[in-house]
C-alpha cells in the first residue's frame, strides 16, 4: 500500500517552500544590502527581509535564466548558494534588529498571517485522498501544463525540450514565457527525491503571495514615507487582498436559473480574477507585476538622489523589466506602454526631467539582458503564428453576448461598449466605486499632492484602455484581457487604502479635515463601501471553496478511483522506467491531467505543451499516434510495434476509457504489462521490448 498521497504532497510542498529562499529571498537581500536600495541598511530587520523578497522577484528570474541557459544549471545552483552564504554573513555581521513593543506585535502577526497563507495555498493545491480515491483541485487544469514544463527543465535543461512534442527529434520549447518555471525547476533539482516539479510549483504560489504582500507594504511605505504607524497601511492593503468583485451575485442567479454548477466563479464572464485566484492559477503573472512595480518604485525613489544611486537603481530596474518579460509578456506589455507615456508626461514637466535619463537607461538595460530570451521567443522552432497575437475587441459581457449572436458585428460592439460600466462594476465591485471616489477627490491634486499619483493614474488609464479594447488571439481565452488588469487591480487596492484610512478608520471630524466630504455623507459612503467589501470577500471565499472542492463534489466516485490509479501508474513510470524512454498516452484526450501532473517522461504528442506547434502539425501527429488507442479490434501487437518503432515510442499508457482497452485481455495474453491496475496498464512496445531493464 503506497503512502498517503495527500501527506506526501504536503511534505513535498513544505520542503520545497523551505528551499525557495535560495531563489526568492537571498539574491534580492544581498543586492539590496550591497547597493543600499530603498535605504536598505537603515530599515528594520523584517523590512529588510520583505524588501529582499520582492527585489528577488526583480533579479532572480533573469539571473537564473542567463546563468542556466548560457552556462549550466550547476553554475546557477552554485550562484544561489553563494547568495545564501553571503546573506548569512550579512545576517551575522549586522545582527538584524526586531525590537519595540508595537513592532514585535506586528512581527508576530506577520508570522501568523504568513504561516496561515502558506497552509492555505498548500491545502488548496495538493491532491486530496480518501481511501482509494484521489481528487485534484480545479487549478490542476492549468497546472498539468506547468508541471510538465518544470519537469522538462529538470530533465533536459534550459530552455527545455518540449515534453509533449517529439516529431522524431527533440524540439526546444522557447515559444512561451517560462522564467517562473526555472525557479521551480531549480528547487526541484536541489530538493532531489523529496521535491518534484508539482510540489515546487505549489510552493512557488505560496511565495508569490508573500511577495505580493511585501510589495504592497513597501509601495505604501514609499508612497507615504511620513505616515505615522508604519504597519497600519500595510495591514489594510494586505487585508484588501481578500476582496474581489460582485461575481457571487450573477453566479448565484445563473446557478438557480440554469441549475448549473460552476467550478470557478470567474467563468461566468470575461474575468478580472480575484487576488487569491490569480496567485493559485497564475503566480507567474503576479510575479511579473511585482517585478515591474519594483522598477517603478526604484525610479520614484531615485528622485533627488545622487547620480550613482540613480544609476544603481536603473540597473536593477532594468533587471526587473527583463525578468518580467520572461515571467509574463502580457503584463510586461502593459508596463512598457505605461513607461512610454510616463516618459512623455515627465518630459513635459521641467521639475521631473531628471528621472528621464534613469528611465532610458532602465529600458536599454532591460533590452540588452532580455535579448537572448527574445531571440528564442521569436525564432523558436515551430512558432508558426497564423495571425497577429492581439486584436481589437470591446471587452465582452458574456451574459449579453448570448442574446446578440444574430446582431451585426457593429451593433454587438456598440452594445458591449454601452454595457462596459456595468461589466466593470460587477467584476471590480468595491474597487470600482473606490476608484471613482478617489479620482474625484484627487483629480486636482494628482501631481502636487504626491508624485506617485501621476504614475498611478497613467497606469490605470492604460490598463483600462488595453483591458477594454484589446484581446489576445493565441488561445481561445483572452489571456491578455484577463492579465492586463492585474496592475490596475493593484492601483485600485492602493487607492482603497487611502479611502479606508480616511473614511472608515478615522473619526468624522478628521474625515472632513482630510477630504472635502460632508459629515452627512460619511456614514452613507461607509455603508456602501463596507457592503461592497463584504460581498467581495464572500465572492473570494466562494471561489476558493469551488477551486478546492468543485472537482470531487461534481465528479463520480469512479473518477476519483481512476485518478488514484493514474497516480500509481505514473509513479511506477517515474521509478521503474529509464528517464530517457519516450512514453505515450491517448493524445485525443483533451487536457489529460494525470499525464501532466504526474508524468516525468517525454511524449510524442500531448496537447498540454503544444506551444509553438502549428495546428496542422499538431493534428497530423495526434491522428498518427491516436490510431494506436482507437483500434478496438486489434488482434496482435505487430501493427502496434511497427507504429511505435516508426514514432520512436517506447512505452504505451492505456486507460480504461481508451477504445483499445476492450482488447486488454488479448494484449495481456500476448505480452505481460509492465504495470497494470483497475484503470491503467503500461506496456513496452517497439524496440523497447528488448530493453535489458525490463526483461
Per-position DSSP letters for 238-273, written without gaps between them: HHGGG---STHHHHHHHHHHH----SSGGGGSS---
Mean pLDDT, residues 39-63 taken together: 93
Q: Which residue has the cell 534580492?
A: 28
> Other CB atoms closer than 10 Å to residue 578's CB: what's the count?
12
* Cross-strand partners of 135: 128
Q: Which residue has the cell 504582500?
A: 213
- Cα–Cα distance for residue pair 609/333, rounded to 1 Å: 23
Beta strands in 284-353 (DSSP E): none
Report which of residues 362 and 473 the model is more confident about.
362
The answer to whether the CB of 215 falls within 8 A of the CB of 287 is no
Model pLDDT, residue 383 = 46
* Cell, residue 29: 537581500
Nearest Cα neighbor of 600 from 574, 581, 577 is 574
For residue 554, the SS3 value is coil
pLDDT in tens, 383-434: 445 567 888 999 999 888 878 888 888 989 999 999 999 999 999 999 999 9
* Cell, residue 310: 540613480
Model pLDDT, residue 401 = 80
* Cell, residue 234: 500595510
Mean pLDDT, residues 4-11 taken together: 96
Look up the pTM and report it.
0.94
Statement: residue 441 has pLDDT above 90: no
pLDDT > 90 in the chain, percent = 67
* Cell, residue 189: 533539482
Of 20-34, 146-160, 430-444, 574-588, least confident by mean pLDDT is 430-444
The answer to whether the CB of 188 falls within 8 A of the CB of 196 is yes
| CA-angle at 578, arms to 659 and 159, nearest 5° | 95
Statement: residue 92 has pLDDT above 50: yes
Mean pLDDT, residues 107-128 taken together: 93
Alpha helices, H only, 138-231: 140-156, 179-191, 197-223
Q: Is the peptide bond before 159 cis (omega within 30 degrees of 0)?
A: yes
pLDDT in tens, 449-477: 678 898 999 999 999 999 999 998 877 78
Report which of residues 126 and 306 the model is more confident about.
126
- Cα–Cα distance for residue pair 515/499, rounded to 1 Å: 10
Model pLDDT, residue 136 = 92
Of 208-212, 428-432, 437-441, least confident by mean pLDDT is 437-441
- Cα–Cα distance for residue pair 386/685, rounded to 1 Å: 36
Of 82-91, 183-192, 513-522, 654-663, least confident by mean pLDDT is 513-522
* Cell, residue 109: 502577526
* Cross-strand partners of 161: 172
Statement: residue 1 has pLDDT above 80: no
Model pLDDT, residue 342 = 93
- Cα–Cα distance for residue pair 205/122, rounded to 1 Å: 9
Statement: residue 221 has pLDDT above 80: yes
Nearest Cα neighbor of 203 from 223, 222, 188 is 188
pLDDT in tens, 478-521: 889 999 999 999 999 999 999 998 877 765 555 555 555 565 67
pLDDT band at 580 (very low <50, low <70, confident <90, very high): very high
- Cα–Cα distance for residue pair 556/559, rounded to 1 Å: 5
In whole angstroms, how far apart are CA 185 and each of 167, 197, 606?
Answer: 25, 7, 21
In whole angstroms, how far apart are CA 374 and each of 58, 286, 377, 409, 580?
Answer: 18, 21, 5, 36, 29
* Chain centroid offset of residue 407 CA: 37
Q: Would you mind telling me the total number of residues written for the chain in this entry?
A: 695
Alpha helices, H only, 328-394: 329-347, 354-379
Model pLDDT, residue 254 = 86
Report which of residues 44 and 578 the model is more confident about.
578
Statement: residue 104 has pLDDT above 80: no
Nearest Cα neighbor of 268 from 256, 286, 250, 280 is 250
Mean pLDDT, residues 209-217 taken together: 97
pLDDT band at 382 (very low <50, low <70, confident <90, very high): very low
- Cα–Cα distance for residue pair 439/441, rounded to 1 Å: 5
pLDDT in tens, 14-25: 999 999 999 999
pLDDT > 70 in the chain, percent = 91
Statement: residue 566 has pLDDT above 50: yes
Of 251-255, 264-268, 353-357, 549-553, least confident by mean pLDDT is 549-553
- Cα–Cα distance for residue pair 200/189, rounded to 1 Å: 10
Give 3-state DSSP helix, strand, coil % of the chain, rounded to 5: 70, 5, 25
Mean pLDDT, residues 601-613 taken together: 86
Model pLDDT, residue 331 = 97
Backbone angles phi, psi at 130, to 5 degrees: -130, 105
Statement: residue 554 has pLDDT above 70: no
Mean pLDDT, residues 144-162 taken together: 95
Mean pLDDT, residues 355-367 taken together: 93
Looking at residue 584, the DSSP 8-state letter turns out to be: E
The answer to whether the CB of 606 falls within 8 A of the CB of 587 is yes
Statement: residue 44 has pLDDT above 90: no
In whole angstroms, how far apart are CA 302 and each of 358, 447, 470, 583?
Answer: 9, 17, 33, 54
> Other CB atoms closer than 10 Å to residue 31's CB: what's the count?
24
The answer to whether the CB of 273 falls within 8 A of the CB of 47 is no
Three state DSSP letters for 50-63 = HHHHHHHHHHHHHH
Taking the CA atoms of residue 593, residue 594, residue 598 and residue 601 in that order, the dihedral angle to the nearest 10 degrees is -90
Amino acid at each position: 500500500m503506497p503512502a498517503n498521497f495527500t501527506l506526501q504532497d504536503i511534505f513535498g510542498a513544505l520542503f520545497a517552500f523551505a528551499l525557495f529562499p535560495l531563489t526568492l529571498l537571498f539574491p534580492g537581500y544581498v543586492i539590496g544590502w550591497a547597493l543600499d536600495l530603498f535605504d536598505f541598511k537603515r530599515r528594520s530587520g523584517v523590512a529588510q527581509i520583505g524588501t529582499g523578497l520582492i527585489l528577488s522577484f526583480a533579479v532572480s528570474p533573469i539571473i537564473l535564466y542567463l546563468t542556466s541557459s548560457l552556462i549550466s544549471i550547476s553554475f546557477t545552483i552554485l550562484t544561489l548558494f553563494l547568495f545564501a552564504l553571503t546573506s548569512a554573513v550579512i545576517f551575522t555581521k549586522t545582527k538584524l534588529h526586531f525590537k519595540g513593543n508595537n513592532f514585535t506585535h506586528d512581527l508576530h502577526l506577520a508570522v501568523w498571517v504568513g504561516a496561515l497563507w502558506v497552509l492555505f495555498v498548500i491545502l488548496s493545491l495538493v491532491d486530496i485522498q480518501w481511501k482509494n480515491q484521489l481528487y485534484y483541485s480545479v487549478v490542476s487544469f492549468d497546472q498539468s501544463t506547468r508541471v510538465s514544463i518544470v519537469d522538462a527543465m529538470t530533465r533536459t535543461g534550459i530552455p527545455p525540450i518540449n515534453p509533449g512534442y517529439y516529431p522524431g527529434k527533440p524540439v526546444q520549447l522557447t515559444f512561451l514565457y517560462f522564467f517562473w518555471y526555472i525557479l521551480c525547476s531549480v528547487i526541484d533539482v536541489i530538493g532531489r527525491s523529496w521535491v518534484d516539479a508539482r510540489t515546487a510549483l505549489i510552493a512557488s504560489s505560496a511565495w508569490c503571495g508573500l511577495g505580493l504582500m511585501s510589495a504592497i507594504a513597501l509601495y505604501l511605505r514609499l508612497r507615504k514615507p511620513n505616515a505615522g504607524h508604519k504597519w497600519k497601511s500595510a495591514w489594510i492593503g494586505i487585508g484588501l487582498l481578500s476582496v474581489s468583485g460582485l461575481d457571487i451575485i450573477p453566479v448565484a442567479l445563473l446557478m438557480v436559473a440554469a441549475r448549473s454548477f460552476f467550478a470557478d466563479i470567474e467563468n461566468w464572464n470575461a474575468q478580472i480574477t480575484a487576488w487569491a485566484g490569480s496567485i493559485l492559477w497564475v503566480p507567474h503573472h503576479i510575479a511579473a507585476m511585482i517585478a515591474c512595480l519594483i522598477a517603478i518604485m526604484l525610479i520614484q525613489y531615485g528622485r533627488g538622489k545622487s547620480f550613482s544611486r540613480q544609476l544603481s537603481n536603473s540597473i536593477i530596474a532594468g533587471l526587473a523589466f527583463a525578468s518580467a518579460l520572461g515571467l509574463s509578456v502580457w503584463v510586461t506589455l502593459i508596463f512598457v506602454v505605461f513607461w512610454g507615456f510616463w516618459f512623455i508626461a515627465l518630459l513635459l514637466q521641467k521639475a521631473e526631467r531628471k528621472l528621464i535619463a534613469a528611465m532610458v537607461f532602465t529600458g536599454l538595460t532591460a533590452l540588452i539582458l532580455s535579448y537572448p530570451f527574445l531571440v528564442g521567443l521569436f525564432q523558436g522552432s515551430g512558432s508558426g503564428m497564423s495571425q497577429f497575437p492581439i486584436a481589437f475587441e470591446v471587452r465582452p459581457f458574456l451574459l449579453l453576448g448570448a442574446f446578440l449572436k444574430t446582431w451585426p458585428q457593429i451593433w454587438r460592439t456598440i452594445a458591449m461598449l454601452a454595457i462596459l460600466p456595468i461589466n466593470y462594476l460587477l467584476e471590480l465591485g468595491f474597487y470600482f466605486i473606490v476608484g471613482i471616489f478617489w479620482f474625484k477627490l484627487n483629480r486636482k491634486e494628482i501631481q502636487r499632492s504626491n508624485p506617485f499619483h501621476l504614475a498611478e493614474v497613467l497606469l490605470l488609464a492604460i490598463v483600462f484602455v488595453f483591458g477594454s479594447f484589446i484581446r489576445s488571439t493565441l488561445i481561445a481565452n483572452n489571456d491578455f484581457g484577463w492579465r492586463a488588469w492585474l496592475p490596475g487591480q493593484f492601483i485600485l487596492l492602493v487607492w482603497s487604502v487611502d479611502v479606508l484610512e480616511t473614511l472608515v478608520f478615522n473619526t468624522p471630524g478628521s474625515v472632513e479635515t482630510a477630504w472635502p466630504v460632508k459629515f452627512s455623507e460619511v456614514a452613507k459612503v461607509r455603508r456602501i463601501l463596507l457592503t461592497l467589501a463584504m460581498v467581495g470577500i464572500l465572492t473570494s471565499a466562494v471561489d476558493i471553496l469551488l477551486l478546492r472542492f468543485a472537482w470531487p463534489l461534481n465528479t463520480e466516485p469512479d473518477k476519483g478511483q481512476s485518478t488514484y490509479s493514474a497516480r500509481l501508474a505514473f509513479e511506477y513510470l517515474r521509478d521503474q522506467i529509464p528517464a530517457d524512454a519516450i512514453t505515450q498516452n491517448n493524445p485525443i484526450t483533451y487536457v489529460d491531467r494525470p499525464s501532466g501532473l504526474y508524468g516525468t517522461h517525454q511524449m510524442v504528442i500531448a496537447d498540454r505543451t503544444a506551444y509553438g506547434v502549428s495546428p496542422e502539425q499538431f493534428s497530423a501527429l495526434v491522428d498518427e499516434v491516436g490510431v494506436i488507442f482507437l483500434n478496438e479490434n486489434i488482434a496482435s501487437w505487430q501493427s502496434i510495434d511497427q507504429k511505435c518503432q516508426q514514432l520512436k515510442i517506447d512505452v504505451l499508457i492505456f486507460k480504461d476509457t481508451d477504445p483499445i482497452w476492450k482488447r486488454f485481455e488479448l494484449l495481456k495474453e500476448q505480452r505481460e504489462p509492465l504495470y497494470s491496475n483497475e484503470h491503467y496498464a503500461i506496456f513496452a512496445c517497439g524496440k523497447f521490448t528488448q530493453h535489458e531493464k525490463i526483461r
